[in-house]
Structure 1
């Protein structure tokens, strides 16, 4: 069991429950030491006086706030300690907010909150279930490690989570930060919007976090393993990315829709001919896809009936239909097995096209032999 990073009590109204705080996430980033090139000598950072060039001991360092023109207000560590909020002993919920009102940009880091002992399980579960049923989060100010946080306590999967949050003045205004944002006036046609919505519906997936992984970290570890074993290193630059031509936007949308439909003929025509006031729902659009990545048997002819000639062999369209049911992670695994270059930089659609091309090419080679 993990050790808690904080223990105290959670209160709301007159109800109090002792709790422990645990780190909810972990970083798997590969860590490197700094070495001098051509040697195995470690390189370390030193604190030095930029005027004299002499090294300064840590105990002789104070903080200074630059007021301009090289003038500083010097603050001693003890002075900061005196005004530090210290360590909170209580998470005192001051109010409950509907989670639909909170923009996700305000959430920062997540912690788990657990009851500090089995004897407090009843009160803990009561609060958890009440928050889950109301879809609300408790707001509280909380101090830890010399810093004060705005926090939200919410229920998720039968336990309480504490999220540290950004204050309002820490969230940047996108209109001031991001250039060339759309003015809000629609520059696209109703048909383009309808086709884009249909494409989104057809590519709808269930949230499965285990399907996604850090491919860059995998490549870093593979690079280290290859260099340690003396194997040849191949550097992949990836394919060039080109922006969609606005003039050809409708054509690109229709081809994307046909590709998402598994390459079936007529998918683009469906998007083109569908009445303006109606759009295909997610369930109807997703019908060609079988759950779990298995090939759909919908429309399979009964025993004794003749199959169309085009169905007697595995065609390119059939291969596309199989691939359209796979997640990006599954496509990445196939691309790895096939040795497809630049796969780590590809989108899901690019992976699907590359795998389809590679498997089709192999099928042709087998048929020739």
Structure 2
């Protein structure tokens, strides 16, 4: 069964437009989720909306939205008042401008969506827009309305379709100075930097997300299976606190381990001579350190 579109409308570049569908590009439905239940009856817990002062349950028709302007003081806003500021949704993603992708700070990236043509009628117009964006190597910026809120969305080609990434507004971004300014300025000795750089090079690779493994998710599923079979679950032993070690010594040991891995592989292929060469190289490194 095909997934249901999250949003339907039109994509327009100047006078060229086409009907499109927009789908969330990510999902968390597959994650293990727990419900709260009554331990004595096994029934689900139902939440009630209670007046914080009186403790009485409040009927749905008596609940309104309120913005707290000071502690315990609210400005009430009625639904019809919210309708007065509702952004008109014209179901149109109208491309306003094109910008280099590298100029978009990662902090502004929010939620990804897949964008596909809606039906065969607009397929060619969709392809024209997609290929024009691809040819220029830029990212298209446009506006879209979700649930009464206007969002900025960045569009770029992806395969035969487009990927749309909603962007955060500047007021949603926290100032890094509030977090980084208190970090002390540390001078990094040259030998420490060289060792650390060597470790980085030894662990260099390529981004392969299929290698990522969510150990906690797997452990949860295993836990549930064991519980279904009536197994007793015991809490793990407490971990010992990390020992304070000398930074330079830790870097040297890490660098040594990084160098030993390819050397051992070479020893298996080339025999004793390679192993001896690796040993002499390690000895010289120790003497230099």
Structure 1 segments of 4+ aligned residues over 6 angstroms from their partners: 296-299
CA 1:124–1:240: 2 relative to 1, 3 Å: farther
The reply on whether 1:162 has 2:164 as its aligned counterpart is yes
Q: What is aligned with 1:352?
A: none
Q: What is aligned with 2:174?
A: 172
**How far did residue 6 of structure 1 move?**
0.9
Whole-Å Cα distance in 2 between the matches of residues 97 and 243 of structure 1? 49
Structure 2 counterpart SS, 1:10: strand
Structure 1 residues not aligned, in runs of 5+: 266-287, 289-295, 302-306, 312-316, 318-369
The CA RMSD over aligned residues, in Å, is: 2.8
Q: TM-score, structure 1 length as denominator?
A: 0.66
Report if aligned partners of 1:10, 1:91 keep a CA contact under 8 Å in 2. Answer: yes
Query: After superposition, what is the alpha-carbon deviation per residue over 1:13-67, rounded to whole angstroms, capped at 9, x for unaligned?
Result: 2222221101111103322221233331322110122333221111221112223
Whole-Å Cα distance in 2 between the matches of residues 44 and 239 of structure 1? 38
**How far did residue 115 of structure 1 move?**
1.2
Structure 1 counterpart SS, 2:144: strand
Q: What is aligned with 1:211?
A: 211
Whole-Å Cα distance in 1 between the matches of residues 243 and 101 of structure 2? 36
Structure 1 counterpart SS, 2:128: helix
Report if aligned partners of 1:94, 1:138 keep a CA contact under 8 Å in 2. Answer: yes
Counting matched residue pairs gives 274
CA 1:139–1:254: 2 relative to 1, 3 Å: same
**How far did residue 219 of structure 1 move?**
1.2
CA 1:47–1:211: 2 relative to 1, 3 Å: same
Structure 1 counterpart SS, 2:122: helix
Structure 2 residues not aligned, in runs of 5+: 280-289
Report if aligned partners of 1:129, 1:158 keep a CA contact under 8 Å in 2. Answer: no
Report if aligned partners of 1:86, 1:147 keep a CA contact under 8 Å in 2. Answer: no
Structure 2 counterpart SS, 1:153: strand
CA 1:125–1:236: 2 relative to 1, 3 Å: farther
Q: What is aligned with 2:6?
A: 5
CA 1:55–1:128: 2 relative to 1, 3 Å: same
Q: What is aligned with 2:193?
A: 193
Whichever structure has more strand as a proportion of its residues is: 2
Q: TM-score, structure 2 length as denominator?
A: 0.83
**How far did residue 116 of structure 1 move?**
1.4
Report if aligned partners of 1:96, 1:137 keep a CA contact under 8 Å in 2. Answer: yes
**How far did residue 85 of structure 1 move?**
1.3
CA 1:74–1:243: 2 relative to 1, 3 Å: farther
Query: After superposition, what is the alpha-carbon deviation per residue over 1:106-151, rounded to whole angstroms, capped at 9, x for unaligned?
Result: 1111110001123433332333333334332111121111221121
Q: Does 1 or 2 have the higher relative contact order (CA < 8 Å, sep 6+)?
A: 2
Q: What is aligned with 1:112?
A: 114
Higher mean alpha-carbon deviation, 162-171 vs 233-242, is at: 233-242
The match for 1:254 among 231, 252, 255 is 252
